Amino acid sequence: MKLTRRILMGAAAGGFLFSAGAAMAQQTELTFWSWRQEDKAFYQDAIKRFQAKEPNISIKFETYAPENYQTILSTALAAGRGPDVIQVRAYGNLETIATPGYLVALDTQNVPELANFPEAALAAETLRSDGKIYAVPFAMQAQLVVYNKKIFQNAGVTPPKTWDELMAVCQALKAKNITPFANGTATAWQNETIVGGLLSSMLGKSFEEDIVSGRANFTDPRFVNALAKLKDVSQYFSPNFTGVDYASSQQLFVAGRAAMFAGGSYEVANFKNQNPTLDLGVFPAPVMKQGDPALIATYYDGGYAVNAKSEKKDAALKFIRYLATPEYGTAFTNVLKNLSPIKGIKIEDPITQEVAKLAENSMSYLMLVRFRYQEPSGSVLLQSNVQKMLASQQTPEQAAAEINKGIATYYKPFQK
């Protein structure tokens, strides 16, 4: 009897070990790449929440410097490698990796949650040549002005609505030895965010419509005059602003040494993380005259995609389906202060609520949305020529002409 019992117990133990071993064997590890280094803690928490639902899937999250990410990713994908799940950019940058067939096409069959997104968000992750979606959108971003409420209050100024009011606010701040704008222009891409943050209302939706249709081009007086206004206000940027890079301008604002920062809504969380005592607000680009519509410039920042060469596509699809849920979108929005495009999210943060409200009146972040598909891209042309203009190496007219000349090499409506 004892022998029999030992045999049964041994068999049971062996069975348990076999089952445990089988369970261990079923564990799937995914790799997930991103350029969002500053969001690493959030993604690690999101992965834990996903793993609570899917314990047999583990995820290794890796981040790369934003300026090198696209090159590192493209090189890996071209070699048939790369991660299982990829954080991709949108619009033209998406096309560079979707066109060669590196990504799995998505639809409501393999990702039913795509029904949770507005058409504009899905369009940002759609390849123009085949009309297929290749990524789950992750954020809508806005270019506007972030300001320090305490500095404004102490200086006795309020958020400006018109361009003249903005200049008056800058003059009042400078008279009190306060740097009005923390912005510098040494980092090229910051010149594009400054244009979006300060000139969108002045340019307006009709300008975008005219540019897209070919009724106007970038030598239009509306664009030239807006650049001239930007040149005027640059006297209130960070001291020696042409030599101030992005990181330095951020630190100037975080330290409370400047009142405003023209840039993305995504800056708010980063500023608050570095200095939790900051009391911040946002306002749209000032209008030329009272009564004109105040606009912010918006775009969809990128998405989550699956590597077509992945041997773990089923697990990868489960993960990006989770990244398309209102549960995830709500956490993304409230933790990162970035606006998720997923329908049904609950926004808790007051500033993010304000950004969502402002986004109801917006134009496209023009060069990224419309002119990043071919070379020289509109973004590169805008960044480099505005940088030169603000350094007094070009006039607004010359900057506009150079931008237009580059885009006209491939944009047929400008070739009339």
Beta bridge pairs of residue 288: none
Q: Is 88 helix (H, G, I), strand (E, B) or coil?
A: strand
What is the rounded CA–CA span in Å between residue 320 and residue 56?
16
The three-class DSSP label of residue 312 is coil
H or E element in which residue 28 lies: strand 28-34
For the chain, residues classed under CATH 3.40.190.10 are 26-138+301-324, 141-299+360-415
Q: Please report the pLDDT score of residue 38 as a whole number.
A: 85
* Sequence-distant (≥ 6) Cβ neighbours of residue 384 within 8 angstroms: 188, 191
- Torsional sign, CA 63, 67, 69, 75: negative
Other CB atoms closer than 10 Å to residue 318's CB: what's the count? 18
Q: What is the spatial distance between Cα 213 and Cα 223, in angstroms, rounded to a whole number?
A: 16
Give the residue from 140, 19, 110, 21 showing the smallest Cα distance to 320. 110
State pLDDT tens for residues 105-161. 999 999 999 999 999 999 999 999 999 999 999 999 999 999 999 999 999 999 999
Phi-psi region of 87 (alpha: psi -120 to 50; beta: other; left: phi over 0): beta
d(CA 253, CA 310): 43
- Could you name the CATH architecture of 141-299+360-415? 3-Layer(aba) Sandwich (3.40)
What are the start-end ranges of the H helices in 147-278?
A: 149-155, 163-175, 188-213, 221-233, 246-254, 267-274
| Predicted local distance difference test score (pLDDT) of residue 11 | 43
Within 10 angstroms of residue 201's Cβ, the number of other Cβ atoms is: 24
The distance of Cα 273 from the centroid of its chain, to the nearest Å, equals 18
Burial 154-172 (b: 16+ CB within 10 A, else e): ebebebbbbbebbbebbeb
User: Taking the mean position of all CA atoms in its chain, how far away is CA 307?
Assistant: 21
Amino acid, res. 203: L
pLDDT reported for residue 416: 79
Q: Both tokens of residue 29?
A: 């590890």
Confidence (pLDDT) at 289? 95
Topology (CATH level 3) of domain 26-138+301-324: D-Maltodextrin-Binding Protein; domain 2 (3.40.190)
Which residue positions in the chain have pLDDT lower than 50? 1-25
Residue 400: which of 380, 373, 377, 381 has the closest Cα? Answer: 381
How far apart CA 136 and CA 389 sit, in angstroms, is 38
Sole residue written with tokens 């805008």 = 382
Match 């999250």 to its residue by tokens.
Answer: 61
Cα(58)–Cα(55) distance, integer angstroms: 7
Token readout for 250 is 């951020």
Q: What are the φ/ψ torsions at residue 337 (nearest 5 degrees)?
A: 60, 25
What does DSSP assign to residue 144?
A: E
pLDDT at 24: 47
Alpha carbon distance 76, 83 (integer Å): 8
| pLDDT tens by residue, 278-321 | 999 999 999 999 999 999 999 999 999 999 999 999 999 999 99
Determine how many CB atoms are found less than 10 A away from the CB of residue 124: 24
Distance CA 58, CA 48 (A): 9
Tokens of 62: 């890796």
pLDDT at residue 13 in the model: 43
Count of C-beta atoms within a 10 Å radius of residue 395:
15
**CA 337 vs CA 40, 264, 269, 367, 383: distances in Å:** 14, 11, 6, 24, 26
